[in-house]
Amino acid sequence: MRLRVLFLCFAISLPAVAAPLAVPDQGPALRIQGSNTIGAALGPALVKGLMEHQGLQGVHSEPGDGANEQRVVGKTRQGKTVTIAVAAHGSSTGFAALKNNRADLTAASRPIKDSELVDLESLGDLKSPEAEQVIAIDGLAIILNPRNPLNTLNTEQLAQIFNGEVSTWEALGGIGGAIHVYARDDQSGTYDTFKELVLSRRGKPLAGTAQRFESSEALSDAVSHDPQGIGFIGLPYVRQAKAVAIVDGDSQPMLPLTSLIATEDYPLSRRLFFYLPPSSRNPWARALVDFTQGSKGQAIVAANGFIAQQVQAIGVAPRPSMPDDYQALARDAQRLTVNFRFEEGSASLDNKARQDLQRVVAYIRSHGKLDKQVTLVGFGDAKNDPQRAALLSKLRAMAVRRELVKSGVVPRDIRGFGAQMPVAANTADEGRIKNRRVEVWVY
């Protein structure tokens, strides 16, 4: 199944570059290391966009010194060569390169780990809003051979399959004999994300018999040619394989669709990051981050098969499983393709939510919906106290309302639905964090 990614229409506008960036006398102007998911195509495409935005001519890519490395090269009007180096060996390598001064900017397909945060303290707080930049949303698709008749799997089954506990398709109600497991390599942020969302949550290691790949494209093609194969992959790399719907806990089965990944409701959705050390004095690093967050950069994100952080209103079909009040809302209003989420153990908006506030306000203002045309809907996790979840879900919606009011938006209503309609299992912190969310609806 090939997945189409829609280009959405609203993003933070990027001001015109006031003056050309300085070009170093020798060496690359910028060194990027990290995620293969970003570095294989998206990172170089963003770099090319920035270079062209800077007025460089003849911008093109050349092979780097090793596998999964490349250089993006352009020339100034004065004929001076500008080079930006991109190495894509996995998210972990990007943070290590920052420490060893072999990179100016890290591309990561997972959040920075606490151990890495401590290890890089000398560079400043890499969890600060200026340092941690969400540049796109990706979904991990679970892929099968197109001839495999199964269409839905839950995250518990995935853990058992990739751990080797379930070893035949017949054990899942399918056909085909032994299951062949395909996985990314240990340096990959894709693997880190899958391990965190599926395996580690259940205390299971990856099966030693899994075939490992550094290349996303090679893994996908291997599954599409193996009737007994199963793998996990970033959305742009589904290629000729078949993606299946995923269930987590009590959630509905969800395919890796654009709208479900944009809101991060899809169980295997993830954020893609740039990490820019606060201590950085490299103007090209800051310029790339700013370019990426702007409308031109997000258009490049969408063109490369990822989900751009742009806001669109979508219709939601009422379902009998929804609370009556939510069904009524779905009939009367449209939902924006963004969810506000919060720092772990906090009522404070996380770094992505802070960025999304600007995008949501821009959408509301451009559509003339500043005055009582917006409803905020909060959700929480049950834990042991449903009444507490109901209260906290409304308080989260109130926290978003306070921020919108500062920008001149007067919401019509706020509602709290407590622990209803979970999008993830409440049995682990990661799932509870996803369930603590605020949706935005417009009339």
Say if 203 falls within a structural domain.
yes
Q: Which two tokens stand for residue 407?
A: 């920008």
- Provide mean pLDDT across the span 248-269: 91
Say if 7 falls within a structural domain.
no
Same domain, 334 and 430: yes
pLDDT tens-place string over residues 216-250: 999 999 999 999 999 999 888 999 999 999 999 88
Q: What is the CATH number of the domain that holds 350?
A: 3.30.1330.60
Say if 77 falls within a structural domain.
yes
Per-residue pLDDT, 389: 84
Number of structural domains (the chain) is 3
Rounded Cα distance between 109 and 95, Å, is: 12
Per-residue pLDDT, 220: 97
Say if 24 falls within a structural domain.
no
Per-residue pLDDT, 381: 82
Enclosing domain of residue 165: 139-260
Same domain, 245 and 149: yes
Per-residue pLDDT, 196: 79
DSSP string, 153-197: EEHHHHHHHHHTSS-BGGGGT--SSB-EEEEE-TT-HHHHHHIII
Say if 395 falls within a structural domain.
yes
pTM assigned to the model: 0.83
Chain centre distance of CA 84:
24
pLDDT at residue 19 is higher than 80: no
| DSSP class of 304 | T
Higher local confidence (pLDDT), 223 or 259: 223
Q: What is the CATH number of the domain that holds 252?
A: 3.40.190.10
Same domain, 123 and 44: yes
Same domain, 327 and 438: yes
- Provide mean pLDDT across the span 93-120: 97
Nearest to residue 228, comparing CAs of 192, 178, 265?
Answer: 178
Residues 105 and 275 sit within 8 Å (Cβ to Cβ):
yes
281 exposure class (CB count in 10 Å sphere: 0-12, 13-18, 19+) = exposed
Q: Could you give the percent of the chain with pLDDT greater than 90?
A: 78
Residue ending a domain, choose from 251, 282, 303: 303
DSSP string, 365-376: HHTT-TBT-EEE
Same domain, 370 and 317: yes
- Provide mean pLDDT across the span 119-135: 97
Q: What is the helix, strand, coil percentage profile of the chain, to 5?
A: 35, 25, 40
Same domain, 205 and 143: yes
pLDDT tens-place string over residues 151-191: 999 999 999 999 999 999 999 999 999 999 999 998 888 89
Residues 161 and 179 sit within 8 Å (Cβ to Cβ):
yes
Poorest-pLDDT segment among 136-140, 194-198, 424-428: 424-428
Say if 87 falls within a structural domain.
yes
pLDDT tens-place string over residues 340-360: 998 876 778 999 999 999 999
Same domain, 160 and 237: yes
431 pLDDT band, cuts 50/70/90, is confident
Same domain, 56 and 108: yes
| Coil, helix or strand at residue 131 | coil
Same domain, 177 and 125: no
Q: Which two tokens stand for residue 360?
A: 């949501």
- Average pLDDT for the chain: 92
Higher local confidence (pLDDT), 37 or 442: 442
